[in-house]
Amino acid sequence: MADSANEEKKEDISLRETFRLLLKASKGFWLVNMVNFGDGVAYFGILTLLTLFLGQNIGMSDAWAGRAVSFFTGAVTLFMLGMGFVSDRLGVRRALRLALVILLGGRLLLVLAPGMGGVGAHGFAWLSLALMAMGSGIIQPTLYAGAKEYTDPRTAAVTFSLVYAIMNLGIVAENLVSPFIRTDTSFLHIGGLKIDGLGTGISGVFWFCAGVTVIILLLQTSLFTRKVEARDRIGAVEKTEAQKKSDAGKSNWRKIKELPLFDARFAFFIFSLLPVQTLFAHQWLTIPDYTMRSYSTEVGSRYEWIQGINPFIIVIFVPLISALTRKAKVLNMMIIGTTISAAITFILVPGPGLARLLIYCLVFSFGEAVWSSRFYEYVARLAPPGKVGAYMGMAGIPWFLAKFTTGLYSGLLLEKFIPPIPMAGHQDTSTLWLIYALIACATPVALILGKRWMEKGVGGVK
């Protein structure tokens, strides 16, 4: 599909001018990213510990905890597909408010679930996962739609990378405080100064995440007013009367056929990412139990800090790489980035080792930084006027499949290769990571093989 008129005519501005425009971005843009930061704290604060919470606090087995988290993360993307139009219909301001209300309800239900006991705990947990998935399915495409609407179109490449970086900044903040809330470990002991963790467990972290949701909901309601919305929507592109009449005359089947999934190159592009995206799912499906079961207690008590390496790298390198490579072809960046992320997974094959784990987290994250934000820019530029939210949701289909399918086998493979220590089972982490590394390598191979074909007929999109 062709780019919108504004984007086809946008100027090729310098890197310095790009950052100058972003620094002067509208109040609406920064309010969108206030929600983005806060939800990054709350969403990933829960997701990082969710498999452990469902096992330890709710009483699920490894297999069922994996399935539950897979259901949740998969449902987030499924709701993105069905709810991507919400921001187009309600507008970014009201869509964000609706999403936050739903998320707050789901997060409160989750933290209250263990108190229900037995079947009640399981029922509350599943209901909370469904509500949180719905809220996240609305908020994710809305944030990117807001980024497009509230900033100068000429800054697209860096704008979308900044949105991605700010979300990860929220993850960094949460990962820093989470171990202090969760454990009673001594984090600082210098002379007479001693700082110990609060020791409130995973439930304490989840209460903190619910509290953050309350705060950003209150701020969004009071600061993101109709006046701000009307004044700051500088990047919005409305349909022309001719386009509206054309859409009105189209049959439902014609509208379905115009969805990007029916474009063979677009479909091949997004589905090629599925194998490497399974590695992202393993960040919360496998890494938590792998760290707790295969490393010392000292490492396990600071697990969130290891997980925090990824968002920290993203915060620094995504805007930087996006700015420096803003003229590079999307496919080249995808091939380079996915190759880095897939290849580094082989470093975990020799077996547990803190240095190897840290190197893996660092290099994997750098690979993600190379390609991740350019993917969202590509999708946003393909979207016709008035359909950015819907297109953002549609592009999440591979994420849905990666999140949903990975959890179907991750728990079973954990039980087979890294059983819980009390079971005194033999650990075979090497085979586990070899399997996952080989799966991930399918992405760069597919992109390389299909590159020449995908570059044909892409039009104005690099």
CA angle 305, 310, 313 (to 5 degrees): 110
Q: Band the pLDDT of 306: cuts 50, 70, 90.
A: confident
Q: Which residue has the higher pLDDT, 153 or 334?
A: 334
Residue 6's pLDDT band (cuts 50, 70, 90): very low
Q: Which residues contact 47 (CB under 8 A, 6 or more apart)?
A: 69, 73, 284
Contact call for residues 284 and 47 (beta carbons, < 8 A): yes
Task: Look at 94-98, 111-115, 408-412 and tell me which has the smallest mean pLDDT.
Answer: 408-412
Question: Does residue 167 sit within a domain?
Answer: yes
| 3-state secondary structure at position 259 | coil
Name, in order, each residue with C-beta under 8 angstroms of 9's C-beta and a sequence gap of 6 or more.
none
Question: How do residues 324-378 score in pLDDT, each as one tens digit?
Answer: 887 777 778 889 999 999 999 999 999 899 999 999 999 999 998 888 767 766 6
Residues 6+ apart with CB under 8 A from 244: none
What total number of domains does the chain contain?
Answer: 1
Q: How far apart are CA 156 and CA 235, in angstroms?
A: 10
Q: Is residue 244 part of a domain?
A: no
Residue 249 lies in a domain: no
What does the block give as tokens for 85?
A: 């139009």
Q: Is residue 243 situated within a structural domain?
A: no
Residue with tokens 């239900």: 109
Task: Tell me if residue 188 falls in helix, strand or coil.
Answer: strand
Q: What is the pLDDT of residue 272?
A: 86
Scanning the structure block, which residue is given the tokens 């997980």? 307
Residue 10, domain extent: 5-235+255-455
In a domain, 461, yes or no: no
* Distance in angstroms (rounded) separating the CA atoms of residues 66 and 396: 21
More confident: 225 or 80: 225
- pTM comes to 0.69
Smallest CA-to-CA distance from 320 within 29, 19, 25, 24 is with 19
* 246 inside domain: no
Is 162 part of any domain? yes
Reported as a pLDDT band with limits 50, 70 and 90, residue 27 is confident
pLDDT band at 7 (very low <50, low <70, confident <90, very high): very low
CA–CA dist 424, 156 (Å, integer): 53
Cβ neighbours, 10 Å, residue 331: 22
Measured CA to CA, the distance from residue 405 to residue 278 in angstroms comes to: 9
Given the structure tokens 């020799």, which residue do they identify?
350
pLDDT in tens, 192-235: 677 778 889 999 999 999 999 999 999 999 999 888 887 777 75
What value does the mean pLDDT take over residues 148-160? 68
Task: State whether residue 213 is helix, strand or coil.
Answer: helix
| Pairwise pLDDT comparison (289 vs 342), residue with the higher score | 342
pLDDT for 25 beyond 70: no
- Give the CATH number for residue 62: 1.20.1250.20
Tokens 């960040």 sit on residue: 283
Whether the Cβ atoms of residue 53 and residue 199 lie closer than 8 Å to each other: no
Torsion sign (Cα): 109, 69, 139, 152: positive
User: How many angstroms separate the Cα of 308 from the Cα of each of 42, 44, 304?
Assistant: 14, 10, 6
Q: Is residue 227 part of a domain?
A: yes
pLDDT band at 191 (very low <50, low <70, confident <90, very high): low
